[in-house]
Structure 1
Amino acid sequence: MTVSPALLKRLALPLIAAPMTGVSGEDLVIAACRNGVVGSFPTHNAPSVDELDRWLGRMSDELGADAAPIAPNLVVHPTNKRLDADLDRLVAHGVELVITSVGSPAPVMDRFHAAGCAVFADVATLRQAQKAIAAGVDGLVLLTAGAGGQTGQANPFAFVRAVREIFDGAIVAAGGIADGRAVLAAQVLGADLAYMGTQFIATRESLASREYRDALVRSTMDDVRLTSEVSGLPASLLAEWLDNRESAPVSAGDFREDRLTSSPDLWSAGHSVSGVRDIPDVATLIARISGQYAAAKAETRASLAS
């Protein structure tokens, strides 16, 4: 078992609502956790450290011990000016799970582990996975081809299997998870949990604008473009937004954390956007995914038994 049985008992689905800049706010996270899905959010989505403190306090107050856990996402890149202050707040609030991104988790591992907090790290290549494993992470979020926002380019079938050969911790499959059947497929492949982002952008609790959510409903995977010109890292974004943006292109590899916080209205989307057909509330979305997951499980059992 690579994920704590105690944590799994709190989940209605083996699923994380992915952290998304400008999208994942306190309402979305609370709704996800109340309905049995891990709720994640970038700490920089809170406008200030004091606001992050308030968000964490509200989440603690409104979510009982049986709710799915929150999983704040901490950008560990050196350009994150709030890194130390945000880390202090996460530790002070006793957060049980953190997801690190854009850089090595090594500098924050001791603080989080000393506080009893598990650390999952975003990785986009096998080499990044190996470095994170060496740093002592508890889990890996594999950013595969087709994931929304900052992404990787590895085939998910190959990536999950390659990482499972070298890692017995938790594996989270990210990229192209559009419905409950895809969640089950990720588990069959060898992942413990799946990451779903694009579907949660198009919910009523999302911080995304109505224009952005409507664009997701009318888009398909053919409308998603991979580019490094916005953040300096490869990212999947809606072509409709890219074609109308006014900012100057960024050189590949020239990442700065402040570009994310200064552009919270960018329209990211993964290939799973083909599965976005309406704008439900989070509870309705999770119930729908749960039904799809259960049906896929039943069909799989029946097929294997025949």
Structure 2
Amino acid sequence: MKTRITEMLGIEYPIIQGGMAWVAEHNLAAAVSEAGGFGVIGGANAPGEVVRDEIRKARELTKKPFGINVMLLSPHADDVAKVVVEEGIKVVITGAGNPEKYMEMWKSAGIKVIPVVASVAQARRMEKYGADAVVAEGMESGGHIGEETTMTLVPQVVDAVSIPVIAAGGIGDGRGIAAAFMLGAEAVQMGTRFVVADECTVHENYKQRIIKAKDIDSTVTGRSHGHPVRGLRNQMTREYIKLEQEGKSFEELEYLTLGKLREAVQDGDVMNGTVMAGQIAGMISKKQSCKEMIEEMMAEASSLMHWN
């Protein structure tokens, strides 16, 4: 299965694992890369030295290529941006912000830069500033979201730019991969499905909450302040939405969610923590190894697309 993305990243299958904060650490990234996909370590809000440590640990587990997701809103973004250069990382995926200020440093170090975008305008701008590809992410995805759906966003971005487009948001099986390719994408990025991978180190409660989720179990908080985040409904989201409806300030609402993702991911508090997951959670019914997931999805996509 060859596309401009598989060639660029040096991977067997056009599947990229999302750089989820607190979830995408070295074990998961290395396992996805070993299975022929492209593993990604999520920089999240971690300091540069923590990311450096993660990179080195991943390299002990795989010789295959993997990347780093640099969360541009992080207070440590400047440090992490330098660490990826020092550690010889070849691919950076950026989220939550604009990577322009790092572009020159990264490009001169031979790094491929792939920003996540939520609109055609963002995609065009990223291409203009030298991005090698973009991830067009629909609002079906977990975590911070835009307003466009994957179905509408991907083909419009494909038409607007000449660099390759990776589809993300609501993709969790071979049918989703095939659909993304029909829309013009050359790879997919998926997060929620990989959360329940055997190699993923999140708390068992978090995995079970995704496995038990129904189609209507995800909800969006933060819309009133222009910072929408998708996760699975629980006590925390109900309280948040109630306070939003009462017109509470962004600061008060932010205080409510402080440290909540970590509580869910690491401590397993899926009632009061933030259980970030995409709408696809309702379709995920079992735990598997990354290898089993990728092979199953590729077999399904291949038969639908008549790839040989």
Task: Assess same fold via TM > 0.5.
Answer: yes
Q: TM-score range by the shorter chain?
A: 0.7 to 0.9
% identity of equivalent residues: 23
The answer to whether residue 6 in structure 2 is matched with residue 10 in structure 1 is no
The answer to whether residue 292 in structure 2 is matched with residue 291 in structure 1 is no
Give the counterpart of 2:155 among 149, 156, 161.
161
Cα distance in 1, alignment partners of residues 118 and 6 from structure 2: 27
Following superposition, the deviation at residue 57 of structure 1 comes to 1.6
Cα distance in 1, alignment partners of residues 225 and 286 from structure 2: 29
Residues 228, 251 of structure 1: 8 Å contact kept = no
The answer to whether residue 134 in structure 2 is matched with residue 140 in structure 1 is yes
Deviation string for 1:218-264 (max 9, x for gaps)?
Answer: 112200002217996212100125347789768569999xx776742
The answer to whether residue 76 in structure 2 is matched with residue 82 in structure 1 is yes
Following superposition, the deviation at residue 89 of structure 1 comes to 1.0
Cα distance in 1, alignment partners of residues 235 and 66 from structure 2: 30
Alignment RMSD (CA, Å): 2.9
Cα distance in 2, alignment partners of residues 54 and 241 from structure 1: 35
Following superposition, the deviation at residue 176 of structure 1 comes to 0.9
Cα distance in 2, alignment partners of residues 33 and 230 from structure 1: 38
TM-score (norm 1): 0.85
Corresponding residue for residue 204 of structure 1: 198
Distance 1:208 1:95, change over 3 A: same
Cα distance in 2, alignment partners of residues 231 and 291 from structure 1: 42
Residues 142, 171 of structure 1: 8 Å contact kept = yes
Deviation string for 1:53-88 (max 9, x for gaps)?
Answer: 122122234322xx3x212111123xx221121111
Following superposition, the deviation at residue 129 of structure 1 comes to 2.1
Residues 40, 70 of structure 1: 8 Å contact kept = yes
What SS does structure 2 have at the residue aligned with 1:160?
helix
Residues 229, 252 of structure 1: 8 Å contact kept = no
Cα distance in 1, alignment partners of residues 36 and 224 from structure 2: 34
Following superposition, the deviation at residue 41 of structure 1 comes to 2.5
What SS does structure 1 have at the residue aligned with 2:11?
coil
TM-score (norm 2): 0.84
Aligned residues: 291
Corresponding residue for residue 166 of structure 2: 172
Deviation string for 1:176-199 (max 9, x for gaps)?
Answer: 102012112111210111111111
Cα distance in 1, alignment partners of residues 199 and 206 from structure 2: 13
For structure 2, which runs of at least 5 residues remain unmatched after alignment? 265-273
Residues 97, 117 of structure 1: 8 Å contact kept = yes
Cα distance in 1, alignment partners of residues 251 and 186 from structure 2: 31
Corresponding residue for residue 151 of structure 1: 145
Residues 140, 149 of structure 2: 8 Å contact kept = no
Cα distance in 1, alignment partners of residues 240 and 169 from structure 2: 28
What SS does structure 2 have at the residue aligned with 1:221?
coil
Cα distance in 2, alignment partners of residues 260 and 294 from structure 1: 43
Corresponding residue for residue 51 of structure 2: 52
Distance 1:260 1:167, change over 3 A: farther
Output aligned runs, 1:1-306, within 5 Å: 3=4, 6-7=7-8, 10-11=11-12, 13-44=13-44, 48-64=47-63, 67=64, 69-77=65-73, 80-228=74-222, 233-240=227-234, 242-243=236-237, 251=249, 263-264=261-262, 265=264, 266-298=274-306
Residues 44, 261 of structure 1: 8 Å contact kept = no
Following superposition, the deviation at residue 271 of structure 1 comes to 1.4
Equivalent position amino acid for 2:57 in 1: R
Residues 223, 240 of structure 1: 8 Å contact kept = no
Cα distance in 2, alignment partners of residues 291 and 54 from structure 1: 35
Cα distance in 2, alignment partners of residues 84 and 166 from structure 1: 30
Distance 1:18 1:260, change over 3 A: farther
Equivalent position amino acid for 2:59 in 1: S
Distance 1:52 1:293, change over 3 A: same
Deviation string for 1:118-148 (max 9, x for gaps)?
Answer: 1111111222223222322111111212111
Cα distance in 1, alignment partners of residues 132 and 16 from structure 2: 15
